[in-house]
A and B are shown apart, each in its own frame.
Chain A
């Protein structure tokens, strides 16, 4: 099994766990929407974790490849730049939605986007300040 197939099987195990959880909760007669979603998430985590423990021995080579790629310096630079560009695009998108919301009269959405933007900016400044001292 190659690394891509391994990652797909991990994803599928979580996916099946999610559906198993929500179906199980429905079968026992549950009707709370929050517990309905939580049961799916909990079961997805449990099944995913069990599959990970099982695969640790069986697919140790693929796991090692993934661990090496996570520590790999070039991979970390790519991940950092991807995060940065994603943040920039998210901010541009949120500003666009903010402007459009005001223009079409959906002030609540504009306010929520504005608050979200302030939270993102605050996180960015705090993290930046911390990293400036750390490095």
Chain B
């Protein structure tokens, strides 16, 4: 919330598994609004939540969350 946000493929991966936002939220013990904010890029998850998501989908964190270096003006 505030600052740079990670891009992610959470929505795509969730839909591949046939899960609703509510179902995924329930599995991860978070609110549906948190999943929605993550997918819309409005919120960066904590490290713990990122690991939980990665473990749930059996993928690496880097596969789901994409960190891009900011381009610096020369």
Residues of A that sit less than 8 Å from B by CB: 65, 68-69, 71-75, 77-78, 81
Contacts across chains A and B counted by CB atoms under 8 Å: 30
Q: Which residues 18-39 of B have a CB within 8 angstroms of A?
A: 25, 29-31, 33-34, 37
Closest partner residue, chain A, to B2 (CB atom): A81
Q: Does B49 interact with chain A (Cβ within 8 Å)? A: yes
What residues of chain B lie closer than 8 Å to A69, measured between beta carbons? 31
Q: Are B43 and A71 in contact (CB under 8 A)?
A: no
Whether the Cβ atoms of A68 and B1 lie closer than 8 Å is no
B29 engages A74 (CB within 8 Å)? no
Chain B residues in the interface with A (C-beta under 8 A): 1, 25, 29-31, 33-34, 37, 43, 45-46, 48-49
A73 to B48, CA, bound (A): 10
Nearest CB in chain A to that of B42: its residue: A74
Name which of B34, B45, B46 has the most chain A CB atoms within 10 A of its CB: B34
Chain A residue with Cβ nearest B49: A73
When distances are taken between beta carbons in the complex, the residues of chain B under 8 Å from A74 are 1, 30-31, 33-34, 37, 43
Contact B31 A77 (CB under 8 A): no
Q: Which residues of B contact A81 (CB under 8 A)?
A: 1
Q: Are A73 and B29 in contact (CB under 8 A)?
A: no
Residue contacts A-B, CB under 8 angstroms, 24 given: A68-B25, A68-B29, A68-B30, A69-B31, A71-B29, A72-B30, A72-B31, A72-B33, A72-B34, A73-B30, A73-B34, A73-B45, A73-B46, A73-B48, A74-B1, A74-B30, A74-B31, A74-B33, A74-B34, A74-B37, A74-B43, A75-B31, A77-B1, A81-B1
State in angstroms the CA–CA spacing of A77 and B1 once bound together: 8
The distance in angstroms between the C-alpha atoms of A81 and B37, with both chains bound, is 17
**Closest CB in chain A relative to B34 CB, distance in Å:** 4
- Bound form: Cα–Cα A77–B33 in Å: 13
